[in-house]
A = this chain, B = another copy of it.
Amino acid sequence: MGKRPRAVEGENLWDEITALKRERILGEAVELFYRKGYLPTSVDAVAERLGATKPFVYYHFKSKVDLLVEICERGTREALAVIAAAVALDLGPQEKLERLVRDFTAVVLDHHKLVAIYFREQLNLPEEAAARIAAMRRDIDHHLRALLAEGREAGVFRFDNLAVASLIVAGMVSYAFAWYRESFSVPREEIADTMVAHVLRSLGAEPLARVGAAQR
């Protein structure tokens, strides 16, 4: 590049270029962290995949761990966003949960690499970032628990232990990061449908007619 032209008004081309560079760096980092792990991936390797060198990466990111933080934070933030949106809907508990599970599943599948990296590399996060992300996960957990409690009180859901039930439900969906691949034979929509059906039934709710009816 060269001297940056004076900013005209807010967003200009150079901000976009810089943002693009950051995204490309992050993208290659995701690939390598996902396939080889965070620690075994050298910053040189990330740069090389971009046809650049290490200082290029360090010009755009303060440190290697910042790449990891950004990756881990993104996945969690997206999940929290759709979950918070679902519980805020003006619907009954079952409809809200259905929406929550469907959207949450979509996030886990779409960002399965981010989620996998987060689960694997949690320990390599700096204290402060780990705390921030843990707080988001707590929020997710609270939303889910509150919704399950609401549904149970309304007589829609049936289960014994709220804390465990909520962890089990979270596990059903989250765990998809461990088996989902781009090449997976079943389309995402169908996975989400199946997930909704299983979650609802595991909570003693009758799934709506649309899902869980026919056998394949």
Residues of A within 8 A of B (CB): 35-37, 39-40, 119-120, 123-124, 152, 158-165, 167-168, 170-172, 174-176, 178-179, 185-186, 190-191, 193-195, 197-199, 201-204, 211-212, 214-216
Contact = CB atoms under 8 A, between A and B. Distances in A.
A198 B158 CA distance: 10
A22 to B, nearest CB: 25
Contact of A164 (B158, B186, B203): B186
A168 to B, nearest CB: 5
Nearest to A205: B201
Interface of A is mostly: helix
Nearest 6 pairs between A and B by C-beta?
Answer: A171-B175, A202-B202, A198-B202, A164-B194, A175-B175, A37-B123
12 contacts: A39-B39, A158-B215, A161-B186, A161-B190, A163-B185, A164-B190, A164-B194, A167-B176, A168-B175, A171-B175, A172-B202, A201-B202
